[in-house]
Structure 1
């Protein structure tokens, strides 16, 4: 898994949402030209994968599809700037890295493969949860403003709930990774590992 890229996406979540609305819309001709470029790039990337085989080919194809999906999401965000399209870009990047990471995990076996998959999923979950919470908070802020009106209080409560949901999703993903790692152990050591995981994640 490209851990640097995943970390970069996580750090960029807030920055993307705050900067996205300042972007300029594209002309119809520029948009169509960009679409054609994305299609051509995907076709070339897939052709390059044909020279590979087995799991390496699977990883190559996953990367080609992922790059296309990210490029499309970024194009939509440039074409029609909005918080929702900024969110879609973050999600597309998280799903792209997960697709490549999960394909790479197939080079492993047994518990190592299971842990690899759970870790990849946990990173994707964390990024998407943060992005969703950021979008909800941004939308709630538009309504709430700075006034403590009845509507404003309701929106502020929704912001708190959004952050709590994100925290819960991330905790569950991290707990799944911890449990999977325990499965590689045996007997008392495994039991101790599972007890420690339950205590750490409040289970």
Structure 2
């Protein structure tokens, strides 16, 4: 079952913050189109979370990547590798952020975090090209460790949210059964109204 991102996720927002090495997804809040922004600070001109915003965000990410990538052409060697990896990581973050907000499901947010972690890992590896010997080995090891940590956190947060949602569902189901039991004390129209009220109250 797909779980949408709502109150439960917003309440767990601190647990969902990505580590510095893997950037941070923006969990959507109620925003006016005039004040909403893309990850790079550019203003959003359509409603956040809408299909139009999703398409605009993808186009914005592509254009930003093209501009950033062009700036890398004046470089060579490791600096160019880092520049290209940085441009790619920024595009991945922008696109995954937009996709997660548009789909608004737990799976989408988790997938976005995993892909952002992979993109930042590639960036970290490129940066490691600036050093050699043991320093390079340590750098690559840290890059790998950061990616593993980000992926583990993403999976753990997903399980935690699912567990809380399941627990909430079980509690609601139990309370619904109690409410139906109370309705058994009535008969006819009164009982029917009681059952209807219970179903409405517990979303059955």
TM-score range, shorter chain: 0.5 to 0.7
Q: How many residues align?
A: 138
TM-score, L = length of structure 1: 0.59
Q: Does 2:138 match 1:115?
A: yes
Report how far residue 104 of structure 1 moved. 0.7
User: Between Structure 1 and Structure 2, whose CA radius of gyration is higher?
Assistant: 2
Q: Please give the alpha-carbon distance, in whole angstroms, between the structure 2 residues aligned to 1:147 and 1:81.
A: 23
- CA spacing shift, 1:60–1:114, aligned 2, 3 Å: same
Q: Which residue of 2 aligns with 1:36?
A: 59
Q: Does 2:153 match 1:130?
A: yes
Which has the larger helix fraction?
A: 1
Over aligned residue pairs, what C-alpha RMSD do you find? 2.9
Of residues 100, 111, 116, the one that matches 1:77 is 100
Contact 1:25 1:81 in 2 (8 A): no
Q: Which residue of 2 aligns with 1:9?
A: 18
- CA spacing shift, 1:25–1:82, aligned 2, 3 Å: farther
Report how far residue 77 of structure 1 moved. 1.6
1:69 match: secondary structure: helix
Q: Please give the alpha-carbon distance, in whole angstroms, between the structure 1 residues aligned to 2:67 and 2:25.
A: 29
Report how far residue 82 of structure 1 moved. 1.6
Gaps of 5+ in 1: 1-7, 149-203
Mapping of residues 26-175 of structure 1, within 5 Å: 26-145=49-168, 147=170
Report how far residue 142 of structure 1 moved. 2.0
TM-score, L = length of structure 2: 0.58
Gaps of 5+ in 2: 1-16, 32-46, 172-204
1:50 match: secondary structure: helix
